[in-house]
């Protein structure tokens, strides 16, 4: 017995040590898989179109060049699509945060008839796959003249974002103490006045999460714009990247530079709002 005890202790601690190692090996393997595609695209974007597809592949470009980026930011077509993407994404972000803030506030603060039914209807609508709507939306838009318009895109993007953001902002408003608002009401503030002077300033972090999510959905969306706005003058950047391929028969140098430019706005937002994002995504991680 006396001899057994230390040896089993050693084997247990060995197993424990080995287990930790296995965990780290698995996590780093997954991290490697996560980063490799994007790192490889980043490296390729600094190569000429010929070097991009030459073998053996060089991780560090032999003749690093910024030509691909220059091409992307000077080609009028692509610049126009970038401009469209910013208009659509910013427009849809502002509208969706405003609308969802009103909705979320109603659910968080008021008692009214049919409240629970309305909440489940909104969450239920959220489960309707948007994809199934592309055909009726296309026909509808072609009849009312919203096809190939940025406004049409901004409006349809709302269906992707509003249900999620109503839910997110509802739970955010619920964390703000009611007493603050009641005190202001007693002092003679109107409901809208309370919203403007007390609730909105206190809810800024919640709005930030909602805005970043809305921007990300609008900036990255591909199927709705390729169906509803694929003319050169109304094209958004994701569609322009896709069109790139048929137009230039895949010039990988240009394409990878375009990919990195598409990544910049989202990465910048992610860096600024990193903490809130992880929390917000976990809180309302509902839509793909």
Instruction: Report 36-95 residues binding other proteins (CB under 8 A).
Output: 36-38, 40-41, 44, 53-57
Q: Which of 155, 200, 202, 208 binds other proteins (CB under 8 A)?
A: 155
If one asks whether residue 259 binds other proteins (CB under 8 A), the answer comes out as yes
Our CB check for other proteins shows the closer of 35 and 180 to be 35
Are 134 and 244 contacting, i.e. CB atoms less than 8 angstroms apart?
no
Q: Which of 87, 99, 200, 208 binds other proteins (CB under 8 A)?
A: 99
Task: Please report, as residue ranges, which positions from 1 to 20 form the binding site for other proteins (by CB under 8 A).
Answer: 20
Instruction: Tell the smallest beta-carbon distance from residue 22 to other proteins (Å).
Output: 9
- The stretch among 1-9, 30-38, 67-75, 179-187 that binds other proteins (CB under 8 A) is 30-38
Q: Token digits for 63?
A: 């003749």
Are 232 and 77 contacting, i.e. CB atoms less than 8 angstroms apart?
yes
Nearest in space to 212 (alpha carbons), one of 174, 168, 242: 168
If one asks whether residue 100 binds other proteins (CB under 8 A), the answer comes out as yes
CA dihedral 274, 279, 281, 282 (to 10 degrees): 140
Distance CA 5, CA 3 (A): 6
Q: Which of 189, 198, 202, 281 binds other proteins (CB under 8 A)?
A: 281
Burial 169-183 (b: 16+ CB within 10 A, else e): bbebbeebeeeebee
The distance of Cα 88 from the centroid of its chain, to the nearest Å, equals 14
What burial class does residue 50 get, using C-beta atoms within 10 Å of its C-beta: 0-12 exposed, 13-18 middle, 19+ buried? Answer: exposed
If one asks whether residue 117 binds other proteins (CB under 8 A), the answer comes out as no
If one asks whether residue 253 binds other proteins (CB under 8 A), the answer comes out as no
Instruction: Tell the smallest beta-carbon distance from residue 67 to other proteins (Å).
Output: 18
Q: Which of 139, 180, 247, 272 binds other proteins (CB under 8 A)?
A: 139
Q: What's the number of CA atoms in the CB half-sphere (13 Å) around residue 129?
A: 4
Instruction: Tell the smallest beta-carbon distance from residue 1 to other proteins (Å).
Output: 20
Nearest in space to 225 (alpha carbons), one of 279, 165, 161, 147: 147
Letters for 194-213 (x = contact with other proteins by CB under 8 A, - = none) are --------------------
If one asks whether residue 125 binds other proteins (CB under 8 A), the answer comes out as yes
Instruction: Tell the smallest beta-carbon distance from residue 156 to other proteins (Å).
Output: 5
**Which residue blocks in 221-288 are alpha helix, DSSP H?**
223-228, 237-248, 252-272, 274-284
């Amino acid at each position: 017995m006396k001899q057994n005890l230390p040896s089993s202790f050693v084997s247990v601690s060995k197993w424990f040590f080995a287990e930790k190692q296995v965990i780290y090996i698995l996590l780093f393997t997954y991290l490697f898989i996560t980063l490799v595609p994007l790192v490889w695209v980043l490296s390729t974007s600094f190569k000429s179109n010929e070097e991009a597809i030459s073998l053996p592949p060089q991780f560090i470009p032999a003749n690093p060049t910024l030509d691909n980026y220059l091409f992307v930011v000077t080609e009028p077509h692509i610049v126009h699509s970038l401009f469209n993407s910013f208009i659509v994404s910013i427009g849809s972000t502002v509208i969706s945060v405003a609308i969802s803030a009103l909705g979320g506030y109603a659910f968080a603060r008021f008692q009214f008839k049919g409240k629970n039914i309305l909440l489940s209807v909104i969450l239920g609508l959220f489960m309707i796959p948007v994809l199934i709507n592309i055909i009726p939306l296309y026909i509808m838009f072609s009849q009312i003249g919203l096809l190939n318009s940025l406004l049409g895109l901004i409006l349809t993007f709302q269906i992707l974002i509003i249900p999620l953001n109503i839910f997110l902002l509802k739970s955010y408003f619920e964390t703000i103490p009611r007493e603050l608002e009641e005190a202001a009401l007693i002092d003679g503030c109107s409901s809208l006045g309370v919203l403007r002077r007390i609730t909105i300033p206190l809810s800024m972090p919640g709005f930030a999460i909602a805005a970043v999510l809305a921007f990300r959905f609008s900036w990255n969306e591909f199927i709705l714009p390729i169906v509803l706005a694929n003319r050169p003058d109304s094209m958004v950047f994701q569609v322009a990247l896709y069109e790139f391929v048929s137009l230039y028969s895949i010039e990988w140098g240009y394409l990878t530079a375009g990919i990195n430019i598409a990544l910049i706005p989202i990465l910048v937002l992610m860096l600024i709002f990193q903490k809130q994002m992880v929390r917000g995504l976990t809180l309302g991680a509902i839509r793909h």
